[in-house]
Amino acid sequence: MFSQLQQPPADPILGLSIKFKSDNKPNKIDLGPGIYKDEHGETPVLACVKAAEQFRTANETSKTYLGSAGSALFNEKMTQLLMGEDHKVINENRIRTISAPGGTGALRIAGELINKCSNTIWVSNPTWANHQGVFTAAGLKVKTYPYYDYQNKNLDFDGMMEALKQVPKDDAVLLHACCHNPSGMDLSREQWQQVAELSKEIGFTPIIDIAYQGFGNGLEEDSYGLRLMADTVEQMIVCSSCSKNFALYRERIGACSVIAKDAASTDIVHAVLLRVVRVNYSMPPAHGAALVETILSSDELTQEWHGELQVMRERISGMRHLLVDTLKAKGVSRDFSFITRQNGMFSFLGIEPAQIERLQDEFGIYIVNSSRISVAAISPSNVDYLCQSIATVL
């Protein structure tokens, strides 16, 4: 049986990290993976998570099954975090949230849910590298709409709207809530308004992927678009992740929220989603959810989390400015100021494949082929070397 299998192509980002680990250059920098790093290059456990873990160890009384929806308290807290406490979909009893194994797990079950009533999802060009694979594996046809204008380092909003106007009413459209991966280019409030109105007019179903809430401009600010969308349309899906904003990467916790036109319809969508879960992995992992619900149930731990999230957010934004200033100081004449107008962990440097190759071979600086960099891997101690190296290859 196995002899029929062929070696699949290496994952471009994970493959890069493996190469990085075996590189002996002393100043090497890995700008590939979307992992937050502090100024020492570490990805520490948050203090609020440590405190929640101690609480859990002391107070957990059972490890019995929780059911396919996971922890009800986590689901409620996530709904509030995403929508705010007083959103109309909560008041009208039109939203159901279930725990999922990370943002990826949430996207996969959302994909399978969509596959039960439609067959096509539209994603931005470009989008997170795994969207295509996850939705294809869920049985969907994946189409793209224009999003990033590589030439002008800006959003191609006209192109996006033109394409979305052609989307058939039963199709799904994936939108990044904030900190667009890989471009860092987000919709403005006015643009969200236009997309929401178009979705309402045409009837396509928005699937909002929110993997970086709190990493852009703040918890509330980063959920503006999805809340507006939920205010405007009858039905949508939200796939969220606690990997980045709670730094719970390996605990695999996120959520999938479904919104439908009334309470009874939402119950049906929810029940179908739970069937999808049951035949996939039966039930989600509990540990990460327990930590998040403990933090969000305590005013003190929530305050601490807000503070730690702010530190991460401000460090990333600070590095965007430092990168652009240092490139200028190294005599680079090309305008990189667009990097300071983008949000979250990622931006495209916009340099050529041959330059990316030189950065890797000569300087031990690892960047994926598209020239996407993880700004969160830059620190005051490596920015000088990084910018000198970029200046040399330019």
Q: Pinpoint the alpha helices (H) of 65-156.
A: 72-83, 88-91, 102-115, 129-137
Return the number of the residue (241 or 342) whose C-beta is nearest ligand PLP. 241
Between CA 103 and CA 315 the distance in angstroms is 23
SS3 content of the chain, % helix, strand, coil (to 5): 50, 15, 35
What's the closest the beta carbon of residue 177 comes to ligand PLP, in angstroms?
9
What's the closest the beta carbon of residue 38 comes to ligand PLP, in angstroms?
18
What's the closest the beta carbon of residue 128 comes to ligand PLP, in angstroms?
4
Report the half-sphere exposure of 324 (CA within 13 A, side-chain side). Answer: 15
Return the number of the residue (104 or 389) whose C-beta is nearest ligand PLP. 104
- Contacts with 62 (C-beta within 8 Å, 6 or more apart), sequence order: none
Q: Is the dihedral of CA 305, 244, 152, 198 positive or negative?
A: negative
- Contacts with 381 (C-beta within 8 Å, 6 or more apart), sequence order: 39
Between CA 371 and CA 352 the distance in angstroms is 8
Structure tokens at 286: 């509990």
Verify whether residue 267 is a known catalytic residue: no
Q: Could you give the C-alpha distances from 198 to 152, 225, 226, in angstroms and in order?
A: 25, 14, 14
Between CA 185 and CA 179 the distance in angstroms is 7
What's the closest the beta carbon of residue 267 comes to ligand PLP, in angstroms?
27
Verify whether residue 156 is a known catalytic residue: no
Q: Could you give the C-alpha distances from 31 to 69, 291, 378, in angstroms and in order?
A: 36, 29, 8
Return the number of the residue (254 or 284) whose C-beta is nearest ligand PLP. 254
Amino acid at site 226: L
Q: Mapping DSSP to helix (H, G, I), strand (E, B) and coil, where does residue 228 land?
A: helix
Return the number of the residue (90 or 312) whose C-beta is nearest ligand PLP. 312
From the list 37, 77, 153, 244, the catalytic residue is 244
What's the closest the beta carbon of residue 359 comes to ligand PLP, in angstroms?
22
Verify whether residue 209 is a known catalytic residue: yes
Return the number of the residue (213 or 266) whose C-beta is nearest ligand PLP. 213
From the list 37, 209, 222, 305, the catalytic residue is 209
What's the closest the beta carbon of residue 392 comes to ligand PLP, in angstroms?
30
Interface residue list for ligand PLP (CB under 6 A):
34, 102-104, 128, 176, 181, 209, 211, 241, 243, 254
Return the number of the residue (34 or 284) whose C-beta is nearest ligand PLP. 34
What's the closest the beta carbon of residue 387 comes to ligand PLP, in angstroms?
26
**Overall size of the chain counted in residues:** 394
Q: Could you give the C-alpha distances from 64 to 67, 70, 99, 283, in angstroms and in order?
A: 9, 11, 16, 11
Return the number of the residue (103 or 206) whose C-beta is nearest ligand PLP. 103
What's the closest the beta carbon of residue 256 comes to ligand PLP, in angstroms?
12
CA 390 from chain centre, in angstroms, equals 27
* Residues 240, 222 contacting (CB under 8 angstroms): no
Q: What are phi and psi of 224, to 5 degrees?
A: -55, -50
Return the number of the residue (102 or 284) whose C-beta is nearest ligand PLP. 102
From the list 128, 153, 156, 171, the catalytic residue is 128
Catalytic residues: 128, 209, 244
